[in-house]
Amino acid sequence: MLTTSALEDLSLTEHGGNGWRPRPTGVMEALIAAGVGYSLLPSIVFAWEHIFRTDPPEWAKGAMPNFVAALLLSPIFWLLTKAARTWRVRHTHATPKAKGNRVSVYVANFGDDEIGRSARDSVIASLRSEFGKDQIEVLPAGLQLRLSEVVGSDDAAVEAANAGRQLLRKRRGDLLIWGQVYTIAAKAVLELRFVTAQQDGSEGERFGFTDKLMLDADFVPKMGTVLAALAAAQALPAATDAGRYLTNVLSPIAVRLERLIQSLPPGVLPADRIEIYNSYGLIQSVIGEQTGENWRVLKAVASYREALNHCTPDHRPQSSNTIKANLAAALAKLGAGQSEPKYLLEAVKINRDLLHDVVRGTEPANWGTIQHNLGVCLTLLGERETGDEDLENAVQAFREALEERPRDRCPLEWAATKNSLAAALMRLAERVLSRPRRQDIINAAAGAAKEAVETGLSDPNDVFGFALSKVLVTAGEQSFQRKAAFSRLEEAIKAFREALEVRTRDKVPLRWAQGQSNLGAALLELAHHDNRNGLLEDAVEACRQALKERPRDRHPLQWAETQEILGIALMSIGENTRDAKQVAKAIDVFQEVLEVRTRNNLPLNWAMTQLNLGIALTILGELKKERAPLEKAVISLEAAKEAFDPNASPYYHSRALSGLNRAKELTNIICL
């Protein structure tokens, strides 16, 4: 493993690549100036005779042209030639601007020597061969990034990443590959690092370590496929945000890697074998996340485990830690869509183990990443439980992460963690009994979410976008500032609709479905406080659109989440219009949701659906003046009241109790 002392100062230069060599400064300029000076000798002799009234001596005739050239002409020629050379270098080595119609991958200079230039040419050629030209363009970047000796290697990598992002934003790029060539044991080794234009933290993004890849400078074609897999996986989030669908590019690379894994010869170096398994896991994981195919994520988990099996005590610890972080992220993706907590529990354990392996003082950015990932997993676990221990721990993890993700140094990561902190706080507030403490938590959540969104660094259509709206509405109600809160909610609805125009169903189906579900939830929330016609109907339509890409068999938890919103919207329409048929449809929806949200696997979600089912049955019984629905309502509301602990979930316990009393009261009235 390279130490910081072996690395050079961080530099960002728009020159110095592909064959240009500096020559001895001023030699040509001096020769030209001397020639021009001697051509002026007659003028110099005339001036001497005019001033001194005598012929100049021979020594003056020889020295004066040189003197004139040195004094006047040399600086002029030096400035002119320097300006011309600077223009030529910048013109030759300037970074071309991406066209914008494809995913763009830039490759920086790796050094001014022959090895560095050859390595960059190999990287560009490999990527172009693997990707083709239809959807990904590979471009040379006229800059060189290096790590600094002045700060720790982890902080230096963050500084370099920020410098790389500036270039990507300026040139409309999606990914920058940079690195250096080192000589280790008399062999040239290429260390590559990856920088994306942005990371928005959407859907509780689980950030990876400072990503890098070690290759022989003269790497063979099979490792070119590995490089392409890593590059494509890194570029995917930026491409997804721009509405570009890359599965048709990534899938063939995954197929080639799978064939490579199945026929790996015994002579493959252990380090190469590990990178092959890791890259295959990474690319399957990102394809699975974009397409919703969980079998791909399961393959990714298996591949990461295989990579770790080949890691020996002599292997670089940072590399094995990166694979562990990738494994935890894949497990979290699986756990987010499953009612069983086993995947999330394993992800939590891996992240906590990594906190012991990674030293905060020497790797602060990676340590902060682990804390963020741990907070995401604990939040997902906390949503499935009635207690608040996991949510309290999630809040603590996010706050620890923010200490190593300051806004001035890591603005994108800071925004993602702020967003996740707001969501965890919101969920925690729902379970706090003390009104003053609950209000403090709500205010903290609102503040964190507003900071993330108002900076423009947070994705308005992420999974916590509606959480922001809901938090602000709640805070507004309790502080008598509802108008401002509703204005923010309407802004969120507008943002959701705009995002759906970019992230279309055919390009990013899962993100599109999440956006439709978010839109439905925001419209439903606004309809509860606004009597405008059409809000509830729009919410129903948004949910039905989302369910087209959230089938129960493939995404049961996401399906149940959207179904719940749909059921509430149908129930509200039926109650407002006195239409018993709409309420009956809502009851059918809630009963289907309870088949997925069981009391054993998702006790809190189960209780929430029981509460909504009880309310719907009460409305139906009142509309039809029938006792049977009311008796069923009493059973559902009684179950919800018992499930909601008055200490842990006072708000929902109170709602269940008041709904139960109302159902019993109506039952008695109808009996009379």
Helix, strand and coil percent figures for the chain, each rounded to 5: 65, 5, 25
Burial class, 670, CB count within 10 angstroms (exposed 0-12 / middle 13-18 / buried 19+): middle
Is it the case that residue 150 has pLDDT exceeding 60?
Answer: no
Q: Write out the two tokens for 65.
A: 């042209």
Which of 352, 434, 363, 433 lies closest to 396 in space, CA to CA? 352
Lowest mean pLDDT among 13-17, 90-94, 187-191, 571-575: 13-17
Listed by start position, the domains of the chain span 27-93, 95-308, 551-671
3-state secondary structure 160-171: HHHHHHHHHHHH
27, 33 contact by CB (below 8 A): no
H-helix segments, 409-481: 411-429, 435-454, 465-478
Residue-averaged pLDDT of the chain: 76
- 182-202: pLDDT as tens digits: 777 677 778 888 887 754 333
For residue 488, the model assigns a pLDDT of 66
Of 270 and 521, more confident: 521
Tell the CATH topology of 551-671: 1.25.40
Percent of the chain whose predicted confidence (pLDDT) is above 90: 25
290: part of which helix (H) or strand (E)?
helix 270-291
Burial class, 468, CB count within 10 angstroms (exposed 0-12 / middle 13-18 / buried 19+): buried
5, 49 contact by CB (below 8 A): no
**188 alpha carbon, distance to own chain's centre:** 33
Map residue 185 onto helix, strand or coil. coil
CA-to-CA distance for 375 and 413, rounded, in angstroms? 14
136, 249 contact by CB (below 8 A): yes
Map residue 182 onto helix, strand or coil. strand
Instruction: Please state the pTM of the whole predicted model.
Output: 0.63
Lowest mean pLDDT among 108-112, 349-353, 538-542: 108-112
Q: Write out the two tokens for 435.
A: 């009104």
Is it the case that residue 323 has pLDDT exceeding 80?
Answer: yes
End-to-end CA gap in the chain: 83
Name the pLDDT band for 579 (thresholds 50, 70, 90).
Answer: very high
- 377-387: pLDDT as tens digits: 999 998 877 67
476, 482 contact by CB (below 8 A): yes
| Residues sharing a CB contact under 8 Å with residue 299, sequence separation 6 or more, in sequence order | 280, 281, 284, 288
For residue 428, the model assigns a pLDDT of 84
Query: Rounded to 5 degrees, what are φ and ψ at 113?
Result: -85, 175
Most confident of 4-8, 223-227, 603-607: 603-607
Strands of the sheet containing 212-216, edge to edge, are 136-140, 103-107, 175-184, 187-196, 212-216
